[in-house]
Structure 1
Amino acid sequence: MDQLTLFLIGLLVGIALTVAAAAAWRFALRRGSGNTTAADGSAASPGLTTVPTEHFIEVSKRAVAAEAQAAELRAQVHQLLDHQQHITERERLAMADESRVLQTLAPVRETLRTMHEKVAQLERERAGQYSALAQQMNQAQINGDQLRATTESLASALRNNSIRGVWGETQLRNVVEAAGLTQRVDFDVQTSIRSDAGTGRPDMTVRLPGGKSIAVDAKVPYNAYIEASSIPATATGDEAARRTALLAQHVKAVRGHIDALAAKSYWSGLDASPEFVIAFIPNESLLAAALEADPALLDYSFSKRVALASPVNLWAVLKTVAYTWQQDVLTDDAKRLFDLGKELYQRLSVLSEHSDKLRKAIESTVNSYNQFASSLETRVLVTARKLDALDESKVIGTPSLVDTVPRHLTATEFSAEPGLAHPERLATSRSAEQEEWLTTRLAAPEPTDPPQI
């Protein structure tokens, strides 16, 4: 039981005791009042004890106070009971409301549970992804360190002139092969030529259609650019001044390279070559840095008949050369095909002459045979039948005529007459004349010669 129930039980016991005490006091009070009345009406007996009046008055006051307190306690008990019932009803309603709320929030609770599970799963996945990302970051750092070491090694190697030359030639070969050119067919490497400046050896000689060619050089200054690249572009103060000075040295080195190529004048030692040489810059940034530091560098190179070409520009030029070669090969093939067609046409003309002669010979043979058959039928057999009139058991048959004529070649190419415009009309008329002659010959009793065609 709760504390409130125990309090109510104790309160009820106290009230019961108070009521019992009040009843005892009232009983004593009535008894005392009876004794007093008997003393006033008659003489008291010698054995009875007289109760003082003050004592009864005090007892009466206490009894009245006890009854008032008991009534107040009863009222408080009723209030407490009502309050307890109200609290109980309110708790019941609250529990009912809570039950309804819980039922209403059941889907929300299920959703929250599902969300909690998903959040837990996402957290596990995030932990796994974080671990994988950490591994990738570590691997990227390792790769970056390796790349940095390789870059430093490459930069150190490119400071050597011989290694830098091999690197430039390799890059040039890659660009040429990517453009579709073939060595010793479309280009040659390291070929010696004699020019006005003496003997020279360009890194590559590209052959152009029509026996033309152009020289390409792949050497380039690199040291100053490497040192300038090691300084950030955002540097300030002394570092920025040092970077500017190194780029100026790079431009000066490129200008010196242009002057050296111009002095060699490779174009004068090549047959039918454009009057310039291509200076191949193996790295786009090399040329871009030089042009950024000195925008007039291109004009200077053009004035020296030197064309500065990066890998992209050179690839475009060589791709154009490869396409020109393809078109040149197609042109040669087309010319050979035209010559063969012309020769075949001439030979077909000769063949048409032979076929016309053969046709005429066949027609002559047919005409001769038809004349023979006609003479045999109308001349010889008539007389032979008269001689053999006594024996008619065996009759000599009549030979049939050949009514098939050779087909004419109606195409213009097979016309034997050089000025014949429409040979098919002639063939049609000949066939009609032959048919007419054959019809007449079969109907006539006497042989006639076929019309001359």
Structure 2
Amino acid sequence: MDFNALLFLLIGLIIGFGLAYVLIKKLDKSKELQTQLNTLHEENTALLIEQRTASSRADEIQKYYNQLKIDFQALEKTKNDLSNELSALRVHKSNLEEKLENQLNEMQKLQDKFTQDFELIAHKILRQNSSDFSESHQKELAQILNPLQEKIQSFEKKVEEKYQLNRDEQISLKEQIKQLTELNGELNEQAQNLTKALKADTKKQGNWGEVILSRILERSGLTKGSEYELQYSATTEDNKRLQPDVVIHLPEEKHLIIDSKVSLVAYERFVNETDDVKRQNHLKEHISSVKQHVKGLSEKNYQNLSKINSPDFVLLFMPIEPAFSLAMQSDNDLYAYAWEKKVVIVSPSTLLATLRTIASIWQQEKQTRNAIEIAQRAGRLYDKFVGFVDDMAKIDRGLNSAQNAYDDALNKLKNGRGNIIGRLEHLRELGAESSKSIPTHLIEQEEDES
């Protein structure tokens, strides 16, 4: 083999080895690129999953935000409603104060007129002597007294008519509470941020309910101890001791009982749950819990307690407005179910309206009692005054009788033939000794009349 052939062979081997090396490098690079491609594909799949998760989470966050927005609007509406109610109550209070002031002024005017008439009559009686108490003056006295009597009788009639009118205008408490509950039962907004603070702690729920109930009672206008009592203890006919949370005293010695021990654990779970299926389950548990408490409350028969004269129903107080609205909105038959069990479910707003109605009834009752008491006292005072006038009439008759006796005695003394003065003076003229003499004016009167 010549040198050229060897050279070409060597060059061919070098080129072959070079091509082989390049091919091997390309194969390795292809595998590396495939690996990177697979990695990128896996990362892309993971990113797609994360995107779907983030999108779902964003939907949940948007839904939660919308719910919070609804809750805020509900609370804002409740705040505005309470503000409007407060303004209306202030106007009502101002009207009542003005009305009371007018009544007091009318009473004062009547009292002043009565005093003036009394003083006028007393002065007339004291000024007159026995001869002035003639039949004409007694008629004049009657003319003064009769208008006074008519005014007092008119006042008594006016007070009695007003009392009867107020009683006719007051529909029964049972119907009032039913109407208020049905009206406010349409409140369907929820305030979930309030219940989240309670979690599932039943004790905290109980404490919260007591705080809300206490605040409502303080704002109701009722007086603790006289118009409502807390933790009232009484026994049933079979000597079983029961302790209602609150007993409201009503006019005519009647009472109204409030219970606030309803559990809201299921409602708290409903608020904090994000899964729709589980939320529906918690909602059913919430309604079931309320019904169970209604049933238990009905079986206690609070209205049969000794010394308690209660209507045929008990108020079940739910301290969280959205919990009340959710239950009523989700179960349209819940109110009817409770009513059949002689239980009325109330929320803070409906209970406050009910208690303020009772406070208004108490205020009217007190005003009516005061007016009746004033009328009765005025009537008794008039009777006393009539007795006084009768006594003065007796004195008049006695004075007239004494005046007549005095006139008869004086007539015998100085009038007519053979009167005592004439005879005594004739004896003196005949020589009867005397150290004193009859007054000249009597002798002159005797001579003139003789």
What TM-score results when the alignment is normalised by the length of structure 2? 0.48
Between structures 1 and 2, the one with greater helix share: 2
Q: Specify which structure has the bigger relative contact order, considering alpha-carbon pairs within 8 angstroms and separated by 6 or more residues.
A: 2
